[in-house]
Homo-oligomer: A and B are copies of this chain.
Amino acid sequence: MCISQFIHGTAYMPRQSQPAPDTTDDSFQRIHDALAHRPGFLIRRLHQIHVALFLEECAGFNITPVQYSVLTALRETSLDQKSIAIAIGIDRATMTEVLKRLDSAGWIHRVKSVADNRRRIASLTPAGRDLLEAMDEKARRAHERTIAPLEKAEREQFVNYMMQLVDAGNDYGRATLKIS
């Protein structure tokens, strides 16, 4: 189902939420109008869609997009946790968790740096390297499928725009969420 179908009623449409007498069909149109043009809303949805496509393509490997990014980075070089975190853009607390999972899956191992005992250097195991090779093609397809609905020239423009925005906003992320 696509949004148009949803809005225009060919897909699921709740009919008897009666307690709200104003829940008419065009409420959904109005909600759509209010949200569908907001960049942040679209980005969130697009992220969900990409994750779903990635997991579908790479089903059987039991790996997530972030984990694949980390392994990709480690294919280039062994690296301490903070550097990996900066390179792929997540904070070090999350990095700790991600590396734990990659470690217990047997795809990486972590050793204390001899030069600096605070650091733990992560490297790919042979199993991790094999996994990367086995799934590279499917991961590539997941990324392609995410932007496949656009024309070739549009896809290039779109990726180019995102690169500009990510580069410009690179200071943000690792966001503060203050709860009361």
Residues of A within 8 A of B (CB): 1-4, 6, 12, 14, 16-20, 22-24, 27-28, 30-32, 34-56, 59, 62, 64-66, 69, 72-73, 75-80, 82-83, 86-90, 111, 113-116, 119, 121, 123, 142-144, 146-147, 149-150, 154, 157-159, 161-180
Contact = CB atoms under 8 A, between A and B. Distances in A.
A157 B157 CA distance: 9
Given A39-B162, A55-B175, 5 more contacts: A16-B116, A35-B87, A52-B173, A62-B178, A62-B179
A27 B76 contact: yes
B165 A161 contact: no
Contacts of A27: 76-77, 79
Contact of A175 (B51, B73, B157): B51
18 contacts: A14-B80, A14-B83, A17-B113, A18-B113, A18-B116, A23-B78, A27-B77, A30-B77, A31-B76, A31-B77, A35-B72, A35-B87, A36-B163, A37-B159, A45-B169, A56-B172, A59-B178, A158-B161
Contact of A49 (B65, B173, B177): B173
